[in-house]
Structure 1
């Protein structure tokens, strides 16, 4: 089955659909470094399937340029990544590129993706103001998404976004989206899901909109995504095999220990994996003081540090001392899930403090990627800040894989009677979290 990934980012959603056996016709993404990450991942799949994984491993060890890796695979593999903005002006050209990739008798079965979520984020509205966010042209990118549906007429689509979409423009945004998709020929349903229910050791609530073509209403619907497995893993199961780091250090020489049962069960690491991006950022001395205090408060009292209540006068630098009292937060190793990983992690690590007092730093790039359930063989191209941003913006691959497998079963006619209501009452009354976790 063939799909198109719009607003693809670093490919978290695509990773799930690739694992489920879908074939990508195109990934469309505006960020240059994210495009290279997508190309690198496509090269990894090609080389692995051809029994040439050692060439990919050599790339990771050698420090060669991405172009040298891409030269090892047929050009159509990396050309599936289209570096372009999606807008009214650019869409016709993108259609032309994708149409050239499709054979005369080939069709697109599915379109996936979610427009940038910053405009719908409750935290974004709190920082920049509601009117500024509602005037942002990114808030209307769903119209371009509908254009792709109308052009390619896939049987289904998957649209992911933050909970704030539910309250955007006085809760009318979802109605606008529903009407726009209906005009394009699609019915849809929306449900809230949490990534922690799919094996991800992170609490990450998102809206997953799934739609189906009008003429498919008797065969298709919103698949029940609820997983049927339970586990008792903790965040430490993601961290304990990695070598310790001090602020500003990196250590990709070797793992400290064998992969934990969690890493093995959910496919994040195997014995032959090469460690990359285990690199931490440097911190100001005053921030390190706060980090140490935050870890101490957590270890002694099992609570997060309150800003500025728990700090000394010289440690208080923000004018706003009434909002975001949890701006410094420990990733608690003893808990079954962490706080939500968001793109803001590329600006500072205050919200993602490593739980080990002996390391006293924010999470490394690889640790953040693991919280998002990216496997260790997933390499992020670009500088460190870009890697953090790509990770924070992504859909967790474990969550994406569950969605992909259920959507595939629906398309194959294997889910008779296993569809959720199109208009669940709960989706009208979502309880929004107005903290940074959004």
Structure 2
């Protein structure tokens, strides 16, 4: 079974399909750092299959080195990988202008790997234009944003390759954008090119992720196939968010952990969620610097949460800590990750700008989340290596489909394909 990955990002959705044995035809992504992450992940899977993970561990340990050293180590890593393993990653914008080139490269890939058909297309166009927050902040309600119409390009892939099925992932706001007209258009276009479709809101926490993350998952299948939309039995978690954070070394603001070892041994939660195994090492665990003002606000937010299980509002702050004139909207600018709850609030790409919405639950550390902690809340495993600077890492994580969620969706496809195809 194979898949075509559109608007691939850092690979959260494709990770779920890779875990279930699907082979990538092509990952298509505009962001250069995300493409490098996808290449590195491809290298990981190749080395794992060939019992050569010691080479991958060596590269992971270059994380704390200079950019030049890390780049040299990456070249050494990739020198052990056959070129065909890395070719599926295509760093290009999906647009009307580039479609002929993209189609040509996909056709070449299909020929190289000896495949005639695409089994499944996965992906979701950038969601900012559909998000409720994005529309609220834009004076034109995002009506002029060209990303509103990227779904038409997604459908061009369906029309050309006629896959058995597809997964189109996006934010809940896609259902209500432009009074629902946009979603009605999406449905009409998908049906017109030969697919039955259903769309449902799925929360990642119901699929085993320790994070509440509501997404619209549109699943379509060719009209000649007898599919029905999957029914996912909710996963009842016995764990809390602290169970995926507490084994990591403690850090204060501005500290970098350089030893690669864990503070505690692996626990059942980490094993069950596939976040950590017994051979993993710690990377991407560097905490941001914060101003004294921010640290004081963090302490107040943590104290209120620990005492009252209540979120601090901007209007609750002492006057000397306030810097914004707006005291009527976006009052939850500072938010503690609920370590003692069964799931965190949603990790979004805004975490790349500041960590105010993602304050670590341990008051003795008093800081925002590191890249590795945010990745864990998204259910990325510790052996997942994110390329690029820290801001790029956060963007890749915040925009991703949680791998554990993707894995459950991909497993359903694997079982369904085995039954009917």
The alignment's TM-score, normalised by the length of structure 1, stands at: 0.92
Alpha-carbon separation, structure 1, partners of 2:414 and 2:190? 21
Gaps of at least 5 residues in structure 2 are: none
Q: Output one character per residue of 1:331-350: Cα deviation in whole Å (capped at 9) or x when no partner.
A: 01110001100000000000
Alpha-carbon separation, structure 1, partners of 2:276 and 2:246? 13
- Classify the secondary structure of the residue corresponding to 1:139: helix
RMSD after superposition = 1.3
**In structure 1, what is the equivalent of residue 54 of structure 2?**
54
Alpha-carbon separation, structure 1, partners of 2:325 and 2:92? 39
Change (3 A) 1:105 1:58: closer
**In structure 2, what is the equivalent of residue 397 of structure 1?**
403
**In structure 2, what is the equivalent of residue 89 of structure 1?**
97
Alpha-carbon separation, structure 1, partners of 2:141 and 2:182? 16
**In structure 2, what is the equivalent of residue 430 of structure 1?**
none
1:289 CA displacement: 0.8
1:67 CA displacement: 3.0
**In structure 1, what is the equivalent of residue 415 of structure 2?**
409
1:117 CA displacement: 0.5
Large movers: runs of 4+ above 4 Å: none
1:68 CA displacement: 2.8
Alpha-carbon separation, structure 2, partners of 1:61 and 1:329? 32
* 1:143 maps to 2:143: no
Contact residue 207 and residue 232 of structure 2 kept, 8 A: no
1:414 CA displacement: 6.2
**In structure 1, what is the equivalent of residue 185 of structure 2?**
176
1:132 CA displacement: 4.9
Alpha-carbon separation, structure 1, partners of 2:143 and 2:196? 25
Change (3 A) 1:360 1:105: closer
- Classify the secondary structure of the residue corresponding to 2:314: coil
Out of 385, 389, 410, the residue aligned to residue 383 of structure 1 is: 389
Number of residue equivalences: 410
**In structure 1, what is the equivalent of residue 81 of structure 2?**
73
Out of 253, 260, 263, the residue aligned to residue 256 of structure 1 is: 263
**In structure 1, what is the equivalent of residue 287 of structure 2?**
280
**In structure 1, what is the equivalent of residue 110 of structure 2?**
102
1:174 CA displacement: 1.2
The alignment's TM-score, normalised by the length of structure 2, stands at: 0.95
* 1:247 maps to 2:256: no
1:177 CA displacement: 0.3
Contact residue 237 and residue 342 of structure 2 kept, 8 A: no
Alpha-carbon separation, structure 2, partners of 1:246 and 1:211? 47
1:225 CA displacement: 2.8
Out of 221, 227, 238, the residue aligned to residue 228 of structure 2 is: 221
* 1:122 maps to 2:153: no
Out of 248, 267, 272, the residue aligned to residue 265 of structure 1 is: 272
